[in-house]
Structure formats: C-alpha cells, structure tokens
Amino acid sequence: MSIAYHNSNFITYDSLKIKHHNRAFNYGDGFFETIRIINNKIFNFQSNYSRYLYACNILKVTDIKPIIFFSKILDLLIHKNSIENGYAKIHISRSGDGKYKPNSFTSNILITVGSCERFKINNPISICIFSQQLKSKSSLSNIKSINSLIPVLGSIYAMEKNVDNALLMNTNNNIIEATNANLFIVKGNTIFTPPKEDGPVLGTMRNWILSHVEVQEGSLTEQDLIHADEIFITNSTFGIVSVKSIEKTILFDSFVTAHKLQSKLISLSLGF
C-alpha cells in the first residue's frame, strides 16, 4: 500500500482526505514540484528547492521549510514505498479558509512518490503549436502552478491533431515551451531556449542543461522553429526528447544534440 506524507504525518493514499474548503481545490492556490528519483536517491533536487523558494515568495507563503526537511521526508518515502527509479511530487497549497482573500500565509504539504523507468534514449515525437490560449509574461508563468488549464487545453488540442505534444505561446506570440516540458532549438552550433521573461516554467531539467552546456536565451517565433536544425524538449521525468515534426509537415532528421545530452544524463544516472 502506497505511503504519502501529509502535514507532518505519513499516511496511506486511501486515507488522504481533502476538506471542502481546501484552497487548492477551490482557488488553485498553490504549486507543485516534481523530483526525479534515481537508484533510490533524489536527483537534481537543489534546482527544485530553488524553484520552491521562488514560488513561495511569489505566492506569499511564509512558512518556508529548509532543504533538509524535504530531503529527509523524501528519503523516508523512497524507503517506505521501495522506489528504485521514479519520481516524487511535492504539493504546496495555502492553508486556512477565506475566499479570494486568504486568512493564512502558511502551507499544507502533501508529498507522494511513484515508480517509472530509468532515463533512456527517447523516441522522437511530433508536435503542434497551440495558440488558442496564451500564457502571460509574468512570474506566475515561471512556477509549477496548480492552475494548469492552458497546458491541459494544449494537450487536448494535440490529441485532436493526433500528435504527441503541443507548444504554447505567450501574449507576444512567442513560442515558450511544450505543455509539460521546456523547449530548446539548435541552429548551427548554437542552442537556444526562451528566456525567463517570456514566461516559460523554470524547469529543473532546463536548469540542468543550462549548467552543463552553453545556451543562448532568446525569444523564439514559429519561423525560428521552422528554420531550426534540431528541436528538443526537456523535463525532469523523461529527460530530453527530440522533435521529429511540427504539424506533420515540417520534418527534422537531426537528433544529435538531444541524444548527446540524454546520453550524458543516462551516464550520470547510472553512476548516481
């Protein structure tokens, strides 16, 4: 039976109860972090913790926990659930009652874990561009908010188009990310990714890539993608995935950079 952590207690998933006035449920008042588990250990967690601090500051959550607090709980959950390779999800929501005006600045904490495959060389995917709803160029767009309606609608659009994923746009009509991943393109010998100011989620795998290879941050348009030599997307669960087509008409056959980075990630994780 799976074990979770909820507000100082280790509980079974079946015993978790959400109250009717829960602010995450009623107002989307919270955020989450997804952490990769490799060989029974949390991977790249400093990036998650930095984003946790950033999100707490934006959402005015004041009871900030030290990194060791989360590390100890995650280690216990990995042991209790016998996770070798998988992921953990930290859910942070504002505690207390109130309506749009909250009466608390402290947080509820729910942490869950699950199993998944090791990092591997992923099959290239097809994508489309979703422009019916636009993300704002604000700090709220940079965090993993539990209000994820635009990525949800983008994913539905991709399903309707019979492709694997959709790219999202901001209010300046720049392309900023995929529904569940950050976006990178390669032109010549240069790797590009949208800057923080354009509104992408500040992904932990994005941060890993920025710390391991030289990347130029700059706004991207549809034309930049069309003329790119290579496109790939990244997130903490699957690592790096190449893009083989956009809208089923623009085709790519170069996956060298993505495979090189994913191979490095695989090599690191095998020795982790």
- Can you give the pLDDT of all 272 residues of the chain as single tens digits? 799 999 999 999 999 988 888 999 999 999 999 999 999 999 999 999 999 999 999 999 999 999 999 999 999 999 999 999 999 999 999 999 889 999 999 999 999 999 999 999 999 999 999 999 999 999 999 999 999 999 999 999 999 999 999 999 999 999 999 999 999 999 999 999 999 999 999 999 999 999 999 999 999 999 999 999 999 999 999 999 999 999 878 889 989 999 999 999 998 777 76
What is the structure's pLDDT at 242? 97
What is the structure's pLDDT at 268? 79
- pTM of the predicted model as reported, rounded to 2 decimal places: 0.94
Q: What are the C-alpha distances in Å from 266 to residues 112, 155, 235?
A: 24, 27, 14
CA 192 to chain centroid = 19
What is the structure's pLDDT at 1? 78
CA 263 to chain centroid = 20
CA distance 26 to 213: 42
What is the structure's pLDDT at 251? 86
Tokens of 239: 């690592």
What is the structure's pLDDT at 120? 94
What is the structure's pLDDT at 61? 97
What is the structure's pLDDT at 249? 82
What is the structure's pLDDT at 272? 60
What is the structure's pLDDT at 74? 98
Strands 41-43 and 30-38, bridge-based pairing: antiparallel
